[in-house]
Amino acid sequence: MLFLDIVIVSCSWFVFRGIETTVIGYLTMLTSMTFLDYTTNGVRQSARYFITSERREETAQAVCCEVNRGPTVLKGQGWRGKERREVPLIMARKRESRLTYRLIKRIDLATRSSEHGLAQEGALGEGFDVIKR
């Protein structure tokens, strides 16, 4: 859908022969996407992070102290090497993602991490949204 929007706005340059219309189109598209995302998801945007690192204890401790989120440690096993390891799972607000990634990067540059948005599901419970059901 976004690709189609970009194509349509880009075609405005051929129709109107002016860069101004194209730039205004992109700005309007960006503003409307941000507004719709905020309206749809609201302020309850949360994220879940899986962190795979050799220095996972240090990373989990830093997240616990500096971001004030308590990681949950999941026990896992790699498929290829069959190596067992612990994988910290962190639930945080979306606005805390920059701080979380800065901590991870500061501790271990070789860390593999993945972020999963929880806009639809949300995070419920202590420190997040109240369970209403």
Write out pLDDT tens, residues 84-121.
888 888 888 777 778 888 888 888 777 777 676 765 55
Mean pLDDT of 46-59: 80
- With a cut of 90, say whether residue 19 has pLDDT above it: no
The confidence score (pLDDT) of residue 27 equals 93
Task: Please give the Cα distance from 9 to 24 (Å, whole number).
Answer: 9
Q: Does the global pTM surpass 0.85?
A: no
Residues 108/53, Cβ–Cβ less than 8 Å: yes
Mean pLDDT of 23-47: 80
The confidence score (pLDDT) of residue 120 equals 52
Task: Please give the Cα distance from 73 to 120 (Å, whole number).
Answer: 24
